[in-house]
Amino acid sequence: METFRGFIAVEVPVTDQIIQFQQDIRKTDANVKLVEPENIHITLKFLGDMPVKQIDAIESIMKRAVSSAQKHTITLESTGVFPSENYIKVIWIGIKGSEKISEIADILNQHCTQIGVKKDKRGFSAHLTIGRMKSAHGKEQIIDILRKYENTLFAEIPVNEILLKKSTLTPKGPIYETLSTIPLYE
């Protein structure tokens, strides 16, 4: 049975401010793996390994999730980390105006159980992953950069569609391919 590693996402065009934020992180000696600019996105639902024959069912769930969602704009603003500054795993940019994408993510989370995807117990947390800390080395430098950018407006992004993406893991990082695009309504 042919499978693919998949997720449902909102694409985010990379701005100069996001690039600058990543460049400042890169200048530290912190042990951080940055997300490649072309791979930056907002994950609405991680699916994991899925049978290719489930793509139609996934598209149906995606259409249901956006059935009452209109096109809108979100604001990329502020910075932070998961789970905490004492133990940094993920460096992120925050999202304001995320109520609609949160609703879409919640519907996806509910209905993807029908195709064998486990429900996320933590629920959706609107953020844009910028990088992952591989060790605590350089943590203080990262915290300083977060403070520098904590009130930065990175971008206003139109949300016009959600995408089913295929992720192929390689030694140089993941390669993403869009399998399906589901538009939001006017």
> What DSSP string runs through 32-50?
EEEPPGGG-EEEEEEEEEE
Tokens of 155: 């971008």
137 is a catalytic site residue: no
72 is a catalytic site residue: no
Amino acid at 116: G
* Residue 46, burial from CB neighbour count under 10 angstroms (0-12, 13-18, 19+): middle
Q: Residues near 80 by Cβ (< 8 Å), separated by ≥ 6?
A: 91, 92, 94, 127, 146, 150
Residues written for the chain: 186
Identify the active-site residue in 72, 111, 127, 137: 127
- How far are the Cα atoms of 31, 139, 141, 145 from residue 105, in angstroms, in the given order? 31, 31, 33, 30
Measure the CA–CA gap between 88 and 137, rounded to whole angstroms.
Answer: 10
Measure the CA–CA gap between 76 and 163, rounded to whole angstroms.
Answer: 19
Catalytic residues: 41, 127
